[in-house]
């Protein structure tokens, strides 16, 4: 019976979708509130703790996973735990967070820049956004999870960034933070 329950849980009822949406909206509100604190000198740990506190204050049972905050070169690490490193001007900031609300998880990753980004940073950001939009546009009934991932990879390859895409394009949400389908290479789930 390995995987049977997980396969059944891929299909969400309207009520489950509403609960996931509420969790997403809660995490988004907490993120917006926490943005006011983003400035050079605050530590990754302090920013993560504040985001967690705000999610709980808005009604989250707890974070859906350990909140990730990374600045500078550490933003390239897929699962970077926050450290005592201070945010600096003219640097990237990665925040990956989610809330558990009414038993359902949310997950959002946001990239920010403190200061005025150089042309190369703007180019890469635009390429990632284009890849994300291409993946979203590829989502429709009957397509494979791999084809959604492939749509994003195609865009990044066109921008010379394919080697930097070391992760899957996405994953399902629900009672667990990572649920099928996994939107990645070779994933044939429709």
- Summarised one tens digit per residue, pLDDT across range 37-89 is 999 999 999 999 999 999 999 999 999 999 999 999 999 887 889 999 999 99
What is the model's pTM?
0.92
Assigned token pair, 99: 């809330």
CA distances from 68 to 1, 71, 111, 189 (A): 34, 10, 12, 29
Give the dihedral sign, CA 34/40/42/44.
positive
Q: How far apart are CA 1 and CA 109, in angstroms?
A: 33
pLDDT value of position 51:
98
């Amino acid at each position: 019976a390995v995987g049977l329950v997980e396969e059944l849980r891929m299909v969400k009822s309207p009520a489950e979708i509403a609960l996931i949406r509420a969790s997403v909206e809660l995490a988004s509100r907490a993120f917006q509130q926490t943005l006011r604190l983003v400035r050079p000198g605050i530590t990754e740990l302090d920013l993560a703790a504040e985001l967690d506190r705000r999610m709980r204050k808005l009604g989250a049972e707890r974070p859906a996973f350990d909140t990730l905050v990374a600045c500078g070169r550490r933003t390239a690490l897929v699962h970077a735990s926050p450290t005592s490193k201070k945010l600096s001007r003219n640097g990237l900031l990665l925040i990956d967070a989610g809330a558990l609300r009414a038993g359902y998880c949310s997950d959002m990753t946001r990239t920010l820049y403190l200061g005025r980004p150089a042309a190369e940073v703007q180019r890469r950001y635009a390429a990632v956004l284009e890849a994300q939009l291409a993946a979203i546009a590829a989502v429709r009934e009957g397509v494979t999870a791999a084809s959604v991932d492939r749509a994003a990879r195609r865009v990044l390859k066109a921008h010379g960034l394919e080697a930097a895409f070391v992760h899957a394009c996405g994953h399902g949400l629900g009672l667990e933070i990572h649920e099928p389908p996994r939107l990645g290479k070779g994933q044939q789930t429709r």
